[in-house]
Amino acid sequence: GVDVNMASAPLLRRVSGLSTSIATNIVAYRNSNGAFKTRADLKAVPRFGEKSFEQAAGFLRIVDGENPLDASAVHPESYSVVEKIGAAGQKSVNDLIGNVSYLKSLDPKVFVDERFGLPTVTDILAELEKPGRDPRPEFKTADFKDGVEKVSDLEVGMTLEGVVTNVTNFGAFVDIGVHQDGLVHISALSHSFVKDPHTVVKTGDVVKVKVMEVDVNRQRIGLSMRLDDDPATRQAESANR
């Protein structure tokens, strides 16, 4: 998960349900209003609608907030289940968290209803045993180059680190920190022949790329993962087409 009070916009926008604009708005709202105290506070962020919240909330953490569940992988829509679990033993949420012996003594089937099935309840109990430790892998972030913040800052030949944002049949789009993704064409993904880009990269991968072409007016960036490629050769090939 991601600490929503610490994360940068580039990291936030890699969370399921968060677009670039929502991620930017979260940081702007945080800067203006101070730290988020609950996950529910996120609903006040401009353009952060119900659907996006539903997708993203389970990945977003509020550490040391008003509700200890906000620091866990338990989704807000499942908080009512935790309340039922606590009520069964007359325990508060704080009493439940980390109380392994008590949690293991419970029968998950008791808390199943038409909305929350046995797998969901079992996952919630497991999460309460180890709050804040998300079984999903941590997000790895790219180390964007200082001073490179817009397309006009790019120079042909630069080697940069970026994050794969989308993989298509013709290549991969990579965020290099300039608010416009660059394209690594399928032919520039590897020195070996690539039939399907999905076999080389996936969304979220941190990759090193070389800037091959920059068109500031059209906001287009050509990249290569073959770091020994010569941009001059690429431009000559393009001119001859």
CATH of the domain at 210: 2.40.50.140
Does residue 220 lie in a domain region?
yes
pLDDT of the residue at 187: 95
pLDDT of the residue at 180: 86
pLDDT of the residue at 235: 61
* Residues 118, 13 within the same domain: yes
CATH of the domain at 69: 1.10.150.310
pLDDT of the residue at 234: 64
pLDDT of the residue at 135: 40
CA 149 and chain centroid, separation = 20
Point out the residues of the chain with pLDDT beneath 70.
Answer: 131-142, 234-241
Q: Please state whether the predicted TM-score (pTM) of the whole model is above 0.85.
A: no
Does residue 139 lie in a domain region?
no
Structural domain boundaries enclosing 13: 2-129
pLDDT of the residue at 133: 47
* Residues 158, 216 within the same domain: yes
Indicate the number of domains in the chain.
Answer: 2
pLDDT of the residue at 90: 94
* Residues 8, 74 within the same domain: yes
pLDDT of the residue at 55: 84
Instruction: List the beta bridge partners of residue 175.
Output: 163
* Residues 182, 79 within the same domain: no
